[in-house]
């Protein structure tokens, strides 16, 4: 299914505008004006790029799509977390979550409408995958967040500059944008590999949205071929793997993907990934009371990851409709953390944020569908 009738302006890499302008018979400086308009002033229509002649704006609007994703709903949580329900042009709804922390904004973005991987505690997988997002729609989620950040600044009376500083020395101040991106929303990024990588390159490009590669994280449920492919890509993005259990018996119950790529194969691939890239993998481990939160599970995890430079992120379960697991007791989470730290595994215990906004992926969309 085509999401938009024309190619999306946000799905093009900044470097692709020059050849495209040439194809359209335009001088190359038009490409510079377009890229500046898109990413420095966050144009939301061709008419917003006033450096372009009116006739050219009209011509571009007939050939290249520049329609923002519609912000259909904003759900707020007490701790400034905002979850946006965004509507694509074909009516499909996707989610993105904006999480402020320590003066930076982390944005969790989606890669697909729904998901095929059906992890037990995730609302996104409950209805399968409708379609993959285009690169333009993935970037469009960040543009929607930028739009809101700009509106926040204007409401606070801050001049329309500032935000995350530009990485280009001497560059003019830029409009606000998220400091970190995590591809951890709806969908499995490696099930939409090409579009996700293209979108992340646009977000990372200094002439694009200019978010540092080390502030961009791809999170997979354990799609081994995707990890292998990423290892050959030569990019600096961070990789996070949803592990959630230290053995096949438990992981099979939580994540059907484990039947295809079991724990031993997944961990061996992560070890290879580190060997090839020198980049540390983060393992996400959601603690579920009396299921995977016992000290024997911590010990099994320690044995599994022994000798591999990596990080472990412990996340107390957020209640989700359709999954009957319960959040762990705080003292058990702390004991689990302590066991891993004593074994010299770099481990953090994450505060689960955004429960009030159904921030476990897919829940907002699921509620609007039911």
Interacting residues with ligand SF4 (CB under 6 A): 115, 117-119, 122, 124-125, 186-188, 221, 361
Asked whether 241 and 282 are in contact (CB, 8 A), the reply is yes
Tokens 């018979």 correspond to what residue?
25
End-to-end Cα distance, the chain: 23
| Closest by Cα among 41, 111, 19 to 361 | 111
Give 80's DSSP letter: S
Q: Is 88 a catalytic residue?
A: no
How crowded is residue 203: how many other Cβ atoms within 10 Å of its Cβ? 28
What minimum distance in Å lies between the beta carbon of 231 and ligand SF4? 20
What minimum distance in Å lies between the beta carbon of 186 and ligand SF4? 5
Cβ partners under 8 Å of residue 296, min gap 6: none
Our CB check for ligand SF4 shows the closer of 6 and 127 to be 127
Q: Is 119 a catalytic residue?
A: no
Question: What are the Cα distances from residue 326, in Å, to 124, 357, 358?
Answer: 19, 18, 16
What minimum distance in Å lies between the beta carbon of 122 and ligand SF4? 3
Our CB check for ligand SF4 shows the closer of 8 and 111 to be 111
What minimum distance in Å lies between the beta carbon of 24 and ligand SF4? 38
Our CB check for ligand SF4 shows the closer of 118 and 279 to be 118
Residue of 93, 95, 270, 284 marked active site: 95
Our CB check for ligand SF4 shows the closer of 188 and 332 to be 188
Structure tokens at 333: 């989470």
Residue 207 has φ and ψ, to the nearest 5°, of: -90, -10
Structure tokens at 254: 């939580």
Positions annotated as catalytic residues are: 95, 361
């Amino acid at each position: 299914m085509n999401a938009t009738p024309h190619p999306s302006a946000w799905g093009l890499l900044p470097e692709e505008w020059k050849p495209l302008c040439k194809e359209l018979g335009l001088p190359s400086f038009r490409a510079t004006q377009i890229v500046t308009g898109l990413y420095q002033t966050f144009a939301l229509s061709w008419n917003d790029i006033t450096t372009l002649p009116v006739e050219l704006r009209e011509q571009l609007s007939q050939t290249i799509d520049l329609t923002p994703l519609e912000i259909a709903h904003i759900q707020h949580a007490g701790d400034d977390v905002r979850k946006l329900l965004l509507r694509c042009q074909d009516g499909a709804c996707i989610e993105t979550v904006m999480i402020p922390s320590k003066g930076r904004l982390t944005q969790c973005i989606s890669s697909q409408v729904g998901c095929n991987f059906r992890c037990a505690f995730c609302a996104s997988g409950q209805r399968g995958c409708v379609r993959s997002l285009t690169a333009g729609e993935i970037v469009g989620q960040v543009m929607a967040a930028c739009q809101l950040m700009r509106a926040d600044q204007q409401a606070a009376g801050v001049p329309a500059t500032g935000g995350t500083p530009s990485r280009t020395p001497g560059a003019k101040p830029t409009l606000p944008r998220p400091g970190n991106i995590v591809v951890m929303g709806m969908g499995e990024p490696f099930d939409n590999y090409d579009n996700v990588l293209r979108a992340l390159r646009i977000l990372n490009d200094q002439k694009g949205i200019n978010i540092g590669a080390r502030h961009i994280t791809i999170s997979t449920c354990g799609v081994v071929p995707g990890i292998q492919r990423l290892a050959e890509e030569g990019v600096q993005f961070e990789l996070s793997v949803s592990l959630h259990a230290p053995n096949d018996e438990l992981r099979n119950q939580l994540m059907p993907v484990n039947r295809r790529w079991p724990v031993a194969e997944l961990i061996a691939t992560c070890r290879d990934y580190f060997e090839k890239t020198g980049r540390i993998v983060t393992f996400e481990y959601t603690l579920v009371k009396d299921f995977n939160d016992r000290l024997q599970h911590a010990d099994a995890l320690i044995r599994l990851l022994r000798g591999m430079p990596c990080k472990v992120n412990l996340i107390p379960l957020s209640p989700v409709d359709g999954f009957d697991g319960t959040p762990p007791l705080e003292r058990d989470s702390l004991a689990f953390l302590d066991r891993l730290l004593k074994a010299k595994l770099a481990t953090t215990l994450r505060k689960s944020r955004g429960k009030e906004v159904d921030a476990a992926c897919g829940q907002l969309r699921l509620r609007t569908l039911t």
